[in-house]
Amino acid sequence: MAIEHASQRPIEKAFPQTNHPVLPPIPASLINHRVITVEEAEQLIAHSLESLPSETVSIEDARGRVLRETLRADRNAPPFNRSTFDGIALSYAAIEQGHSEFPITGTAFAGSPKLSLDAPNACVEIMTGAPLPDQADCVVKVEDLDIANGTARILEGTPLSRGHGVHPESSDCQSGQSLLKPGCRLTAKELSIAASIGKSELLVSSLPRISIVTTGDELVPVDAQPLSHQIRRSNDLALNTALASAGYTQTRRFHIVDDLKETETVVASILEQSDIIILAGGISKGKRDFLPEALESAGVSKSFQWVAQRPGKPLWFGDYTINDRKSFVFALPGNPVSCFTCLHRYVLPALDQISGLPTQATQYAKLKSDFQFKPPITLFLPVLIEHDTDGQTWAEPLPFNTSGDYISVARTQGFIELPQSESNFASGTAYKFRPWQS
């Protein structure tokens, strides 16, 4: 299999100004060989991760990237007192003195230099966005005026005050003020701020290079006609689509047949050019599950392999260092429900962390009906989501038939996490909810 070679990139040891919690050290007894809890797996992953390097990109190419610098206002906003609508600009003191008719001495347009009032009881016509004369502190909108023969008369009963119709200088922000901090994902809102302060280039996190690898002789391409003992590949497409929906688009996909030598060769090659490797299948205890051996042979340091959860007990995580660059390996179960669930529970949060995004607020949903689950392990339960008129989120359990039952899971909007410390889960109780990436 031909593998492209990518340039090596340094890894930064820390990422400033993120909101990830400082976790306690992981005891050595948690590592490697025993079945660990979901919480232990989460901690082991979080402690292992290192942030991606940064790079400078043009503002046109920055959509969806994670900001790595503080953006500050280069001047006051607005930079002058500006009119919020079309009308006339005048001194409110003249209105207080009883004047209601004002000679028009000029017209102020948006984008034109500031005018001056020729007299205290004069006015200038003004357009939306135009700068007010220094002497003016009130704008009367054109609908409240009768303009004739170069004179503007304010209609009786028009409510006015000092500052009416004025967008004051620096009322949005002051020069030097911090507008955006590192760790935000750049959408249209953030990019409009960057453009307004003249940032044609932005310092952002590099896109993580992700390799998706499926394994198994039973898998054939989507457009193939499978034999009776074969199935079409779907995991890699599902993983790739979910990653793209989450903003992670620099991906490549590979497939490995059940052969130890080929598995070792491909794994070693991919490790050299990936920040994150996602392996689907071949990680359990089957006679042709060659990935654990291949990863060990390549020098990947295993953190854990078994997690007390359903679906997804055989979940392998480790890291690999070459030339001071660290790669992270997630070997997910091959069954579609297990694979897709573990991506959302572990891989996507890890990608957010190395990209510099702050930890997302935990979402909760209330069980719509009672549910029982007796094995003492954490259950990731697919659910149908409803929202009532009070704004509460309700989760209707839709248990999967097996961890290969991707058809029923397709009807759901995500999964709730039922803790291993309980076996009876009462209707109306709130549990953690994770939506599927769509």
pLDDT in tens, 280-296: 887 766 677 788 888 88
Domain boundary among 320, 355, 390: 355
**pLDDT surpassing 50 at residue 20:** no
CATH number at residue 119: 2.170.190.11
Residue predicted with more confidence, 28 or 220? 220
Domain extent at residue 408: 363-435
**pLDDT surpassing 70 at residue 30:** no
CATH number at residue 412: 2.40.340.10
Cα four-point dihedral sign 360, 366, 367, 372: positive
Q: What is the pLDDT of residue 405?
A: 64
104 assigned to some structural domain: yes
Contact call for residues 436 and 413 (beta carbons, < 8 A): yes
**pLDDT surpassing 80 at residue 18:** no
pTM (two decimals): 0.84
What are the beta bridge partners of residue 146?
A: 153
66 assigned to some structural domain: no
18 assigned to some structural domain: no
Tell me the pLDDT tens digit for each residue of 364-392.
999 999 999 988 999 999 999 999 999 99
1 assigned to some structural domain: no
Q: Are residues 88 and 146 in the same domain?
A: yes
Q: Are residues 278 and 416 in the same domain?
A: no
Q: Which phi and psi (to 5°) does residue 393 adopt?
A: -100, 125
CA distance 368 to 15: 41
Supply the DSSP string of 55-84, one letter for each residue. Answer: EEEEGGG-TTPBB-S-EE-SS-BSSS-EES
Q: What is the pLDDT of residue 272?
A: 86
- Tell me the pLDDT band of 404, cut-offs 50, 70 and 90: low
Q: Which phi and psi (to 5°) does residue 191 adopt?
A: -70, -30
Domain boundary among 167, 198, 229: 167
Q: Are residues 92 and 49 in the same domain?
A: no
State yes or no: cis peptide before 382, omega within 30 of 0.
Answer: no
127 assigned to some structural domain: yes
158 assigned to some structural domain: yes
Residue predicted with more confidence, 47 or 406? 47
Q: What is the pLDDT of residue 402?
A: 61
Domain boundary among 327, 355, 383: 355
Tell me the pLDDT tens digit for each residue of 139-153.
999 999 999 999 999
Residue 6, CB-side half-sphere exposure with 13 Å CA sphere? 18
Cβ neighbors of 392 (< 8 A, separation 6 or more) are: 366
Q: What is the pLDDT of residue 15?
A: 36
Mean pLDDT in residue range 163-189: 97
Instruction: Strands of 138-209 (E only): list them.
Output: 138-141, 145-148, 151-154, 166-167, 178-180, 201-205
Number of domains present in the structure of the chain: 3
What tokens does 66 get?
């994670």
Q: Are residues 95 and 152 in the same domain?
A: yes
Q: Say if residue 368 is exposed, middle or buried (CB neighbours under 10 Å; 0-12, 13-18, 19+).
A: middle
Q: What is the pLDDT of residue 28?
A: 46
Q: What is the pLDDT of residue 224?
A: 77
- Tell me the pLDDT band of 108, cut-offs 50, 70 and 90: very high
Q: What is the pLDDT of residue 29?
A: 46
Q: Are residues 341 and 381 in the same domain?
A: no
162 assigned to some structural domain: yes
9 assigned to some structural domain: no
